[in-house]
Chain A
Amino acid sequence: MVHLNCGAASHVGLVRSANQDAYLASSPVFVVADGMGGHQGGEVASAIVVEEFARLVADGFDATDGIGAVARVLAIAQERIAKHVVEQQADGTGYYAGTTVAAALLCADQEGPKWLLANLGDSRIYKVHQGRFEQVSVDHSVVQELVESGTIDAAAAATHPERHVITRALSAAGRTDPDYFLLPLASAERLLICSDGVSGMVDGDTLGALIREVPDPRDAAEAVVAAALRGGGEDNATAIVVDVVGWSESDSQARRSEPVSLEEKLGALP
């Protein structure tokens, strides 16, 4: 029995007028979607993805075929986005709706429970293992491609003028296949899923320090978003923090490590 604790936070930021980020933190599925597109196209796209993942949680899915589940969700979401775009384009041109997807699902293979991560775009998934903070997902972005081809280094990537240009997204057209990652549960005590409004505003060391040092995942998610605002808040900032608090055969063991209730935490209970 695996037990997960999570916290999530999202903020429109200090510059944007609308929050196009959407997220789902509903064990065993955790998703951050960063929408793109004017005239609410971005909000619609990210909302559609989150809705479809929520439907997956409600309907349940085969934990041994997490990739199949994610692929079906994305296909349905893409179809809905495409339909939406067609409707909107009827009264104008140049309407675009797309979204990044960064998802973590608790799945299983022959050996037991695993984290299945899926990434499309430049939202990010980090993990903490034995005190080490590490980015797992690889951005689908122009600068990432340039880094990988050796054209620029990581430092130059952080300030590159095209650093926000992504090469894959879930939208009506273009490349919409995600990268998948499979991690043993034991190799990620904590996951951070965030939009680029976080990773672009807070440098890796600061982010790592926050994530390692704040014990409660709810506090950690809030702290990360707050740091993004302190760093400039130029974009919507969303973060989900998920802790694997125990995975044991019995429920009772897992419950012991459950955090204090929200009421307790806020002081409503002694």
Chain B
Amino acid sequence: MSENSTSFHAGDWFGIVGAKVQVYLPPSEKPRVAGLWELVDAGADFDEVLDALISGGLRALPAFALLSVDGDAARVVLRGAVSAEFTVAADVVTLDGRDAATWLEQSLSSVSQARLLLQEVEEAVVGLLPGGLVRVAQVDHPAVVEVVALGAGAPLDLSAQSIPEAPVADAGTPYFDAAVAAAPQVVAPPEPVEEPVPAAEPVAPPAEEAEPVDALSAPATEESDWIAAPQPVADPEATDVMPAITDDGPDLMPPLPGALGAAAVPLPDVPPLPPMPEPPLPRNPVPGFPDLPEDEAPAAPASWGPPAEAQPPAGSDHDGQTVTGNWDSSQFQRQHPGIPGQPPAPSVTAQPVARLLFSSGDVVDVDRAILIGRAPEARRFTSTEQPRLVTVPSPNQEISSTHLEVRPGSGADHGTAVVSDLGSTNGTVLVLPGLAPETLQPGVPAQLLPGSVIDLGDGLTIQVTSP
């Protein structure tokens, strides 16, 4: 990211700004900063950084913001008291981390402006975000210039000032002091940040959906292209002083090169990077459940149980009305979930495949089916299955009595745990590491990876870790 300029208001939050991602942590999380910087500076991508953030457990991290801007595509994860505003086409999308119990994730395209609101802005100082570590209160992307007196005016977009070629520092405002902006308030960066690197690693992959519609949207290999682009903004590049490249769409922020005060260097002949793959859509990975026709299929979550194989007792008798009869036992054969032709995973595994950390305090290893709810019941199991019931508090009764099942996976999910919502009233939200929260489809199992968080509502979450 960060092909374009980013400006900030000084504050108490830690901003860890790398070439691909920006992480913002509240002042209380200072101990994490150095480690995250290492990671971010090493070029870790969004998902890797997210993994690192939550590796110690989500509860230990009350708030954070994780942002990547890639051309006109932005991806953001917000947790806790942080909010973000994105200008998407003519609309402003406002996201607030407090709206989600775990975190809020959003991927947006056609973003022309992004703003992260981390804390109350007290200082009017606006600097350009150079990369590295900074203490910030608010971040704007692309850079904006604000009037000195807070509240005295709306943010002024630099692009409105028609400074196509000039770097932001040249914007004619007193706030863009190159000295300040170059390394303003850098909190002991572990490594030097301002190392202008010649155009060696083009970082900005083109927004893949952006198609040239006219000359302006042609690949920005000529200066004139981005001069005429709608929102020319300076780009103080962070660790990699890399201008954005190539085929930005008409509403993309134009690339501007690197360090503050540096001349805009158009980059001819920088080959476009291959389009980034879309972040994988959150899906219920259910490879182990291919088209089960029978009642073992996901559609009947409450009746998971042994294959009921009908077998006629030796004879039938009619004394009393209850009789046993003769029938074709294969008629009632039920299929176990799993890959046809492969043995199903055992209902009880020798080694747990995952560990569940309940926000209520319970710690439960997944070596069998675990049924979770306000007053969970296990129905129709065999003597070898013996599920475990875990009762969780639900002061507002938002959690269903038998809400959720976690069990060792079978087939392609073998060796991991899978979670199924058992048709709960209020549903279950699953957050896989690095993916947007998804609401589980009742009865459709989803694979759980370490780092996943299951949200049952009523303030109850379950973290999934390795056993």
Contacts and interface: CB of A to CB of B under 8 A. Distances in A.
B383 interface: yes
A166 B323 contact: yes
B387 A169 contact: no
Contacts of A34: 320, 322
A1 B381 CA distance: 27
B391 A36 contact: no
B386 interface: yes
Interface residues of B, number: 44
Q: Is the interface of B mostly helix, strand, loop or mixed?
A: loop
A246 interface: no
Interface stretch (B92-100, B171-179, B256-264, B311-319): B311-319
Interface in A150-194: 162, 164-169, 171-175, 177-184, 186-187
Contact of A167 (B295, B303, B332): B332
B321 A197 contact: yes
B323 to A, nearest CB: 5
Which of B312, B322, B331, B380 is packed against the most chain A CB atoms within 10 Å?
Answer: B322
Interface in B327-381: 327, 331-332, 375-381
A42 B324 contact: no
A79 interface: no
Contact of B378 (A38, A167, A177, A182): A182
B401 A236 contact: no
Chain A contact-residue range equals 35 or more
Interface in A191-241: 196-197, 200, 234-236
B393 interface: no
Contact of A37 (B300, B319, B386, B401): B319
B155 interface: no
Contacts of A94: 315
Interface string B268-296: 00000000000000000000000000110
B101 interface: no
A43 to B, nearest CB: 9
Interface in A12-28: 16, 18, 20
A243 interface: no
B389 interface: yes
A140 B317 CA distance: 17
A167 B323 contact: no
Nearest to A138: B380
A241 to B, nearest CB: 20
Contact of A174 (B314, B318, B389): B314
Contacts of B321: 164, 196-197, 200, 234-235
Interface stretch (A55-63, A109-117, A258-266): A109-117
B433 interface: no
Given A142-B325, A184-B389, A171 B306 contact: no
A197 B42 CA distance: 74
A138 B315 contact: no
Interface of A: 16, 18, 20, 34-38, 41-42, 67-68, 70-71, 94, 96, 98, 100, 109-111, 114, 121-122, 136, 138, 140, 142, 145, 148-149, 162, 164-169, 171-175, 177-184, 186-187, 196-197, 200, 234-236
19 contacts: A36-B324, A37-B319, A38-B318, A67-B383, A70-B383, A96-B316, A142-B310, A145-B308, A165-B324, A165-B327, A166-B322, A167-B324, A168-B311, A174-B311, A174-B314, A177-B306, A180-B383, A196-B321, A234-B321
Given A70-B383, A167-B332, A171-B314, 8 more contacts: A94-B315, A114-B389, A138-B379, A168-B308, A182-B378, A182-B381, A184-B389, A187-B377
